[in-house]
Amino acid sequence: MKYFNVLVLSKGKKNSFLIRSDSKKEAIEKAKLKTNGVVLKIEETSQPLEEKVEEFKNYLLSFRKIKIKRTNLIATMRQLAVMANAGIPLHDALNEIANSTNDKQLQIILKDIAESINAGIGLSQSMEKYKDELGNLTIMMIKLGEQTGDMASALFTLTNILEKIDENVRKFKKAIRYPLITLGAMAIAFTILIVYVVPKFKEIFERFHAKLPLPTRILLNIEYIFTHYGLYILLFLIASTIFVIFLYRTNPQFKKSIDTFLLKLYLLKDIIYYAQLNRFMLVFSELVKAGIPVIDALENSISLVDNSYLQEKLEIVKTMVEKGSSIEEAFAQTGLFENMILQMIAAGEASGQLDNMLQKITEYYGMKFDYILDNLSSYIEPIMLVIIAAMVLLLALGIFLPMWDMAQVVQGRG
């Protein structure tokens, strides 16, 4: 969202005010509608300080908010699907699930939804106020169930989508666990050596007043920084991390810059690319298969893409399809999809088997994603070996070179 200072002439008077809008053109239209006047001047400006402070307060408060675990949401929707399929009224099913769950936040939500249903409000409408906790996808699939009269089928489809997304997330976490543990252990070991071992040798080196080699001077400088500024550096890193996360969550331009940068990094770019497109195609194919209109299916599929750069590219698809373009033409315009994928989509559209082709594309991206994760260690190990070798070499040269020189000095004196 952008901010614009607008100067308007209305009823013979000039008025200036701030408008929040996605584009300059939209801001002008809003200004005209608001004042029924003529826009004299419009300039883009920064976000007001008051709003920045309010966003930061909301961000800090968000840490206190109890989030629903994905596994608990999946279990809830699976139970609800089974009960709906068995003909149990939704009100009774929701109360039963609420009483059996250990998630207090989810329990409160389910009981409130059950009370709303008992008051005559529809399930999807009752869930609307919990959109952040349950997700747009959940509410949209519930609406589909209400429209088709087959709530159980819609809930089973929703559960399958959520389970596949959760499976990919767990695969990624499992794949990066070993490299992260190894890097963490290396960092701890290096810190211990710098803080506790190097100072012992420092005392020995100082007795001889000899000129120390470069690796030793580097080690001693690192030790000095750790000893005198270590706490400040740690606090700075923590504060910087919180600030960067805050900007990432609240500033769309900053988020896009980071997301674009991540897509240029070795290995990480492929993981993000295939993970995000696999998720997009998974949801899109399931929604099309379930009978959701293509535009609605695209909108909800795109909303589940976390990377803002890829999300912006995929928005092109939705815009072009709304204007009457074929799905294949719209996909081609993004520049994200290879020719094989475009040909499969074109074939699916021509034969009326789009949902089947989308399923095959989902499997293809899933296969590529799994291959990268399965071979993640082999990609990372050479980098880790270089880092370990550099650390060991620095420590070895930094400690043993001056000791060798001192031994020669002692022998010379003898």
DSSP characters over 327-354 = HHHHHHHHT-S-HHHHHHHHHHHHHT-H
Check residue 322 and give its pLDDT. 92
Q: Could you please report the per-residue DSSP string of 17-32?
A: EEEEESSHHHHHHHHH
Strands (E), 271-348: none
- pLDDT at residue 175 above 70? yes
Q: Indicate the SS3 state at residue 40.
A: strand
The predicted-structure confidence for 356-403, as pLDDT tens digits, reads as follows 999 999 999 989 988 988 888 788 888 888 888 888 888 888 888 877
Check residue 405 and give its pLDDT. 67
Enter the DSSP assignment of 149: S
* CA–CA distance, 179 with 181 (Å, rounded to integer): 6
Check residue 374 and give its pLDDT. 84
Q: Indicate the SS3 state at residue 88.
A: coil
- pLDDT at residue 50 above 80? no
pLDDT average, residue stretch 312-338:
93
The predicted-structure confidence for 241-275, as pLDDT tens digits, reads as follows 999 999 998 888 999 999 999 999 988 899 899 98
Q: Identical fold at 70-164 and 268-374?
A: yes
- pLDDT at residue 63 above 60? no
- pLDDT at residue 56 above 80? no
Domain coordinates in residue numbering, the chain: 2-46, 70-164, 268-374
The predicted-structure confidence for 293-305, as pLDDT tens digits, reads as follows 899 889 888 988 8
What is the model's pTM? 0.69
Average pLDDT, the chain: 86
Please provide the CATH number assigned to the domain covering 268-374: 1.20.81.30
Strands (E), 62-106: none
Please state, in angstroms and as integers, the Cα–Cα distance from residue 199 to each residue in 188, 202, 221, 399, following that order: 17, 5, 11, 11
CA atoms within a 13 Å half-sphere pointing along the CA-CB vector of 237: 6
* CA–CA distance, 248 with 256 (Å, rounded to integer): 8
Check residue 57 and give its pLDDT. 60
The rounded percent of the chain whose pLDDT value lies above 70 is 93
The predicted-structure confidence for 121-140, as pLDDT tens digits, reads as follows 889 999 988 888 888 888 88
Check residue 103 and give its pLDDT. 86
Q: Does the structural domain 70-164 have CATH classification 1.10.287.70?
A: no
Check residue 281 and give its pLDDT. 92
Residues whose CB falls within 8 Å of the CB of residue 241, separated by 6 or more in sequence, listed in order: none
Q: Could you please report the per-residue DSSP string of 168-188?
A: HHHHHHHHHHHHHHHHHHHHH
Check residue 274 and give its pLDDT. 92
Check residue 64 and give its pLDDT. 47
| Contact of 233 with 211, CB cutoff 8 Å | no
The predicted-structure confidence for 177-190, as pLDDT tens digits, reads as follows 888 888 888 888 88
- pLDDT at residue 410 above 60? no
